[in-house]
């Protein structure tokens, strides 16, 4: 294992310290329990809180700031944050308009956010993100929440910033989730520092189709083929799930898993955009880069969100976070 760390035990704390130093004008870092919150608290605004295991950076800590999250709770690598982190973060940022938890659909995240919500003494709601179409809708644990989470956090964050109430933010979040589908492919596994070796074995001439963001195995192992052919598989699954109408406006997000260069991600974007445009879908917004990563995994995911005028307005609204910023 080759990693720029001092010790397995200290890597998360030291990384969060560095993040807080680098972005001290935007966020502040609370130690024990760990959470990151906006530096300038807005009054009487719905507070948005998300979180999950470390290793997906910049999700979620890099999305704390004006126009997105009010707080993010990082757990250990690929491990859910604890209820006390979520509760303390919520109490720190709640300012009279209630709390909206944005939760990726993983058993540990769901359970711990539910426990925190039960202990929270203020109005609260939860948006559950389950955009991974590599799993069937009737899967025993439901579909996983993956790269579509960022899109939910951006659109709902802008609505909250504009003064939308808790019920409206919850309704909008559910609408974005229902309009979003994602699927990914891995070229390599990833190495969790505490494990010291790749999460799964994959040969140089294989890819993992439908991989999760925690190094989980996908729906099948396939032979490595061209980018266009891999995109066809991913985009077809998304298209069949969302069933977009012709002339439907959409946001296309190509998300890198951490070790794939932008040159390749933009190639994937071009191929995916052609796929959807040939089917009459209008790609009106885009996002390309490493946003929901899986440590040092090579590969990417494709996310399509079907957009209406309200969602476009909130996507375009000003945002100022470590990872996303425009209109400021």
* pLDDT reported for residue 41: 82
Structure tokens at 312: 């476009």
Q: Of 23, 56, 60, 124, which residue is the catalytic one? A: 56
* pLDDT reported for residue 215: 80
Handedness of CA 136, 233, 173, 56 (dihedral sign): positive
Task: Residue count of the chain, please give it.
Answer: 328
52 & 106 share domain = yes
pTM score, whole prediction = 0.97
- Is residue 4 included in any domain, yes or no? no
SS (H, E, C) 53-69: EECCCCCCHHHECECCE
- Told to judge if 253 belongs to the known catalytic residues of this protein, a careful annotator would answer no
172 & 288 share domain = no
- Could you read off the pLDDT tens digit of each residue along the chain, which spans 328 residues? 899 999 999 999 999 999 999 999 999 999 999 999 999 888 899 999 999 999 999 999 999 999 999 999 999 999 999 999 999 999 999 999 999 999 999 999 999 999 999 999 999 999 999 999 998 888 878 899 999 999 999 999 999 999 999 999 999 999 999 999 999 999 999 999 999 999 999 999 999 999 999 888 778 999 999 999 999 999 999 999 999 999 999 999 999 999 999 999 999 999 999 999 999 999 999 999 999 999 999 999 999 999 999 999 999 999 999 999 999 8
* pLDDT reported for residue 217: 78
- Is residue 1 included in any domain, yes or no? no
116 & 194 share domain = no
280 & 226 share domain = yes
- Is residue 219 included in any domain, yes or no? yes
Evaluate the omega torsion of the peptide bond into residue 70 and state whether it is cis, within 30 degrees of 0.
Answer: no
* pLDDT reported for residue 216: 83
CATH number of the domain enclosing 189:
3.30.1180.20
- Is residue 147 included in any domain, yes or no? yes
Q: How many CA atoms lie within 13 A of 173 on its CB side?
A: 30
- Told to judge if 139 belongs to the known catalytic residues of this protein, a careful annotator would answer no
Strand (E) or helix (H) holding 113: helix 107-119
d(CA 205, CA 140): 31
Range of the domain at 291: 180-306
232 & 289 share domain = yes
- Is residue 199 included in any domain, yes or no? yes
209 & 139 share domain = no
Choose among 150, 136, 128, 144: nearest CA to 254. 150
* pLDDT reported for residue 160: 98
208 & 94 share domain = no
* pLDDT reported for residue 286: 98
- Is residue 3 included in any domain, yes or no? no
- Is residue 6 included in any domain, yes or no? no
CATH number of the domain enclosing 74:
3.40.50.10440
Q: Are 272 and 235 in contact (CB under 8 A)?
A: yes
* pLDDT reported for residue 136: 87
168 & 191 share domain = no
d(CA 188, CA 217): 11
162 & 230 share domain = no
Q: Of 23, 60, 124, 214, which residue is the catalytic one? A: 214
227 & 116 share domain = no
Choose among 154, 125, 151, 85: nearest CA to 301. 151
262 & 125 share domain = no
**What's the structural domain count of the chain?**
2
Choose among 8, 91, 25, 12: nearest CA to 52. 12
* pLDDT reported for residue 171: 98
- Is residue 5 included in any domain, yes or no? no
175 & 271 share domain = no
Structure tokens at 37: 């919150």
């Amino acid at each position: 294992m080759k990693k720029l760390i001092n010790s397995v035990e200290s890597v998360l704390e030291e990384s969060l310290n560095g993040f807080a130093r680098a972005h001290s004008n935007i966020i502040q870092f609370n130690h024990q329990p760990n959470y990151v919150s906006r530096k300038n608290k807005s009054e009487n605004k719905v507070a948005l809180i998300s979180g999950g295991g470390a290793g997906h950076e910049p999700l979620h800590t890099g999305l704390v700031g004006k126009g997105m999250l009010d707080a993010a709770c990082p757990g250990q690598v690929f491990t859910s944050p604890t209820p006390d982190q979520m509760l303390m973060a919520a109490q720190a940022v709640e300012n009279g308009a209630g709390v909206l938890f944005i939760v990726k659909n993983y058993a540990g995240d769901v359970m711990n956010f539910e426990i925190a919500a039960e202990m929270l003494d203020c109005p609260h709601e939860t948006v559950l993100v389950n955009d991974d179409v590599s799993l069937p809708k009737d899967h025993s644990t439901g579909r996983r929440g993956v790269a579509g989470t960022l899109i939910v956090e951006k659109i709902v964050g802008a609505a909250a910033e504009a003064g939308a109430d808790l019920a409206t933010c919850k309704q909008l979040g559910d609408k974005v989730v229902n309009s979003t589908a994602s699927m990914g492919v891995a070229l390599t596994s990833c190495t969790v520092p505490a494990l010291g070796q790749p999460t799964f074995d994959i040969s140089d001439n294989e890819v993992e189709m439908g991989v999760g963001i925690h190094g989980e195995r996908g729906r099948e192992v396939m032979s490595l083929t061209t980018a266009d052919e891999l995109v066809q598989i991913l985009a077809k699954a998304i298209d069949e799930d969302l069933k977009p109408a012709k002339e439907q406006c959409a946001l296309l997000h190509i998300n890198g898993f951490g070790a794939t260069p932008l040159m390749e991600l933009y190639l994937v974007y071009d191929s995916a955009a052609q796929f959807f445009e040939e089917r009459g879908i209008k790609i009106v917004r885009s996002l390309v880069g490493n946003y929901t990563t899986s440590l040092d995994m090579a590969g990417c995911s494709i996310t399509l969100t079907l957009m209406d005028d309200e969602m476009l307005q909130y996507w375009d609204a000003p945002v100022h976070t470590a990872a996303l910023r425009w209109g400021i």
